[in-house]
Structure formats: C-alpha cells, structure tokens
Amino acid sequence: MTHAIVLIEADRSALGTLGGELADIAGVAEAYSVTGEWDFAAILRLRHPDQLAGVVTGEISQIEGVLRTQTMVAFEVYSRHDLEAMFSVGQ
C-alpha cells in the first residue's frame, strides 16, 4: 500500500467545487480544504506505487482550476488508533 499527501494550489474560481471533485477520484481517501500556502490537501491510499503518477498527473493535475501540486510519499504510517489497538491486545 502506498500513502501520499498531495498539496494543491487552486484558482480562486475552483475553490467551491474542487474538494468534491478531489474526493471523487479513486485512490483519494480524503480531501481537505486547508489554510496557508496551499488550498487543499488530498490523502491518497493506493494499492500499488505505480498508480501514484496516474492519480496525481493524470487526474488531480487535470482538474480545471488546479494550478500546481506538491506530492509527498509517506515512508511509514503512524496512527494513534493502530497503536492503541496494538497495546490493548490481551487486556
């Protein structure tokens, strides 16, 4: 499984609709509107690493109003939920 965070800068005219369009893309687990330099952050969860280019350059970057993206691939995933489940085994 490949996890990635894609930061997205959007044209002002796309701010109202882009979140829903991102969420509809296969492989996008969550899409957030965010503050700061970027307008959206999309969390990708993909079965195979070779799907990443298709989702980012083939789909996200092609949406009307997307000006630029920055992709960060996760090396390891940490989740409080997973850690709590691991330590509660046998209790």
Q: What is the pLDDT of residue 77?
A: 76
For residues 23-35, give the mean pLDDT: 97
Given a cut of 80, is residue 84 above it in pLDDT?
no
| Topology (CATH) of 2-87 | Alpha-Beta Plaits (3.30.70)
User: Cα separation of 81 and 60, whole Å?
Assistant: 29
Q: List helix spans (H) across the chain.
A: 18-23, 51-56, 80-87
Residue range 38-47, pLDDT digits in tens: 999 999 999 9
Record the tokens describing residue 39, joined without a space: 């307008």
High-pLDDT (> 90) share of the chain, %: 81
pLDDT score of 23 more than 80: yes
Domain boundaries, given as residue ranges, for the chain: 2-87
The radius of gyration computed from the CA coordinates of the chain, to the nearest angstrom, equals 15
Question: So what's the pLDDT on residue 78?
Answer: 78
- Tell me the two tokens of residue 28: 């996008």
Residue type, 9: E
